[in-house]
Structure 1
Amino acid sequence: MLGGGGGVIRCKAAVAWGGGETLVIEEVELSLPQAMEIRIKVVSTSLCRSDLNAWLSHQIFPRIFGHEASGIVESVGEGVTEFEEGDHVLTLFTGECKKCRHCVSGKSNICQVLGLERQGVMHSDKQTRFSINGKPIYHYCAVSSFSEYTVVNSGCAVKITPTAPLEKICLLSCGVAAGLGAAWKVANISKGSTVVVFGLGTVGLSVAQGAKLRGASRIIGVDTNSEKSEKAKAFGVTDFLNPNDHDQPIQQVINQLTDGGADYAFECVGDTGIVTTALQSCCSGWGLTVTLGVPKEKPEIGAHYGLLLSGRTLTGSLFGGWKPKSDLPSLVDMYLNKEIKIDEYITHNLKFDDINKAFEMMRQGKCLRCVIHMPN
């Protein structure tokens, strides 16, 4: 990092200049944190599939991706009282203001003030904090952790115990927490139930881990990559199904295996067609389908009304229903007490200069989580 006048610093960041283009490690300027913002030295950050999907899109560029991260507070803006220099934090792609109707309702984690930011700017003034030669470089999910330093709203970070290993715990910023919460808070899986999980990436395997910890009797994992079969068993999957290995539609196979359908189905792929398949894989009367994936195309869901009329339920899940600032510290404690797995999702550890390798491995389906370690 190089210093700059007026609180501006210059640091290295992986900049995406266009959809699907190789990321370039550039020197960027990062402004002083504004009111109610903090500047974070990123320690570790991992690649999530939503980063990959957005990178492959034709959305806002140039951009700095990354949202699943851990770091240390470098400086704080005016009005910030809950953080101070040196605090260890996790970044949050969806924040919690604790004051809006949703935050105080006890029914929702969709903050009306600090919810998903899709325009690549900060919540407060709709401006960027990154630039190169005066040209704005856009943010991603209000975090942009593929940078040595970043600025976030103080509501988009949570303070954690300094005893937690930052190079591991960064996975709770998104994927692992999202899957566990979908199983526990959204579906509230009951002991002895039957569960089917479509998509065995980090989120799907976190759903499986959550189902196992809740005492599900059968956890069926569905994925078109048969290489995931053995790995899935470590997270609780009891039966593995590859749709390509069956002549029948996979929902029919599942219905036969479960005497009429699973109690719970989870769509963790980001394919709205699979949402319908998941609904068809649930039992009538009480079957619950939870969709977690973010679709790359065809966002509309189509399903015969009879699936719902017969008692099946479809619901969505953002970040597993967790109120991020309120709930994440308890998940960190569970990890430290060895009550939940995180390390096992990390298949690769990479240097910042090798970030493009992470994108390529995820693109080819050869990893779960690649953790990218920033320079000291």
Structure 2
Amino acid sequence: MCAGGRTMDTTGKVIKCKAAVAWEVGKPLSIEEVEVYPPKANEVRIKMVATGICRTDDHVLKGALQSIDFPVILGHEGSGIIESIGKEVTGLKPGDKVIPLCIPQCGKCSSCLNPKTNCCLKTHLSESQNLMPDKTSRFVCKEKVVHHFLWTSTFSEYTVVPYDAVAKIDDQAPMDKACLFGCGFPTGYGAVINTAKVESGSCCAVFGLGGIGLSAVIGCKAAGAARIIAIDINNDKFEKAKTFGATECINPLDYSKPIQEVITEMTNGGVHYSFECIGNTETMKAALECCHMGYGTSIIIGEAPSTAQISFNPLMLFTGRTWKGSIFGGWKSKEAVPRLVADFMANKFNLDGLVSHMLPFNQINEGFELLRSGKSIRTILMY
């Protein structure tokens, strides 16, 4: 195994290393030896240092995202060090600390050229990222081609990522915290700051208190919200939410009536802003319905299963509410992630409480069990 090998030893060569391979839906991940091929033009190969476990990864394992091809190496919230670069790569070099980007920024498409969106047309929502841009894979296991995931595949000791999907960060950044900037923190925090543009004195409701929901709470407090109502069916998460700025915590299981009615009553007509951080269509409806008529805005952050559909009373919107979606917090990833990491290094926000568990990479299935049981906020795997 070449993990830890010097750049001069591995550049241009196939690297054999450990990766967590998902062979099929419904099966645990399998730690395997994989072959990782060198980067081609406009690609970089990264030695991963840390990676987080996100619910989107679990959606794939449960078969909820049907556009994913198996076998596949999942993972999209990681940090690492460039091992080698392909031809035509500029501004990056071996030894740079980087974050793979699950939402790329090509800088050329109609979305990248529009300041109102960060949803680059190279995302998985527009075209498949099951293979690299040239429609081939850089992963082989047991003589079988293994697919990429979101062009990141951070559940491997080494991964190959297109230039459009990698951001260079501060050389001093601690990698166990830096990986949070690959998904969880920017997604929740940015939904508040960029998408909703929460004003000082606002009343907000945050549904779901995982890593993304707590990051939304951090954003609400940073924006000066006067009232931040945190909602979850797990009371164990309430104390953490309060340390990040939640003013009240409520559990829908404690009430006989729908939670949107409870929130509407306790806020004299509804909240200014609500954030759905789970990916559940019923919760999305509840988040919309707890917004105040005429001016309430609800933001969908959580990714629902591919086949999910939603129905709602059009009067919710007819009477003036706004319903919006937010992907990766509205940040144009390649340019924003380095700035966010720099802000973190300048102590503009404290992310210590977002990480509830740290495990060695080979305990990845235990990390998923912590997620499914609701016992974790974010589990970070260290290589």
Say whether the fold is shared (TM-score over 0.5): yes
Match of 1:42 in 2: 48
Partner of 1:231: 240
Distance 1:5 1:134 in 2: 22
One-letter amino acid of the structure 2 residue matched with residue 202 of structure 1: G
Contact 1:96/1:115 (8 A) holds in 2: no
**Identity across matched positions, percent:** 43
The 1:105/1:123 distance shift into structure 2, 3 A limit, reads: farther
**1:6 CA displacement:** 5.7
User: How far, CA to CA, are the matches of 1:187 and 1:316 in structure 2?
Assistant: 10
Are 1:91 and 2:100 matched, yes or no? Answer: yes
User: 2:131 corresponds to which letter in structure 1?
Assistant: M
Q: Secondary structure at the match of 2:161?
A: strand
* Correspondent of 1:55 among 42, 47, 61: 61
Match of 1:176 in 2: 185
Instruction: Using the TM superposition, give the Cα deviation of residue 144 of structure 1 relative to its aligned residue in structure 2, in angstroms.
Output: 0.6
- Residues 5 and 75 of structure 1: is their aligned pair in 2 closer, same or farther, counting only changes over 3 Å? closer
1:140 aligned partner = 149
**SS of residue matched to 2:38:** coil
The aligned counterpart of 1:162 is: 171
Equivalent residue runs for 1:218-297 within 5 Å: 218-296=227-305
Aligned partner of 1:27 in structure 2 is 33
Q: 1:11 aligns with which of 13, 17, 37?
A: 17
Match of 1:316 in 2: 325
Q: Distance in 2 between matches of 1:120 and 1:114?
A: 7
Report which stretch shifted further, 20-29 or 155-164.
Answer: 20-29
Cα distance in 2 for residues equivalent to 1:333 and 1:149: 25
Q: Report the CA distance between 1:23 and its aligned residue.
A: 1.5
Structure 2: runs of 5+ lacking an equivalent: 3-8
Q: Secondary structure at the match of 2:375?
A: coil
TM-superposition CA deviations, 1:276-321 (whole Å, max 9, x none):
1111100011100000111136522211111111100000000000
1:256, CA displacement in angstroms?
0.9
Structure 1 unaligned segments of length 5 or more: list them: none
Q: Secondary structure at the match of 2:73?
A: coil
User: What is the one-letter code of the residue matched to 1:219?
Assistant: I
Supply the AA of the counterpart residue of 1:45: T
TM-score normalised by structure 1 residue count:
0.96
Q: Using the alignment, how far apart are the partners of 2:50 and 2:306 within structure 1?
A: 30
Amino acid at match of 1:121: N
Secondary structure (helix, strand or coil) at the match of 1:136 reads: strand
Seen in structure 2, the aligned counterparts of structure 1 residues 4 and 323 have a Cα distance that, compared at 3 Å, is closer
Residue correspondence of structure 1 range 95-106 to structure 2 within 5 A: 95-106=104-115
Describe the SS at the equivalent of 1:368. Answer: coil
Question: 2:198 maps to which residue?
Answer: 189
Secondary structure of residue in 1 paired with 2:113: helix
User: Is 1:207 equivalent to 2:213 in the alignment?
Assistant: no
Partners of 2:306 and 2:286 lie apart in 1 by: 17
Partner of 1:361: 370
Q: CA RMSD in A?
A: 1.6
Write the deviation string for residues 4-46 of structure 1: whole angstroms up to 9, x where unpaired. 8962111111111122312211111111101100000001111
| Structure 1 CA distance for aligned equivalents of residues 291 and 12 of structure 2 | 58
Name the aligned partner's letter for residue 103 of structure 2. T
Compute the displacement of 1:338 (Å). Answer: 1.4
Q: How many residues align?
A: 374
Paired with 1:114 and 1:51, the residues of 2 have a C-alpha distance of 16
Cα deviations by residue, 1:56-104 (Å, 9 ceiling, x for unpaired): 2175221111110000000001110121111110110110011111111
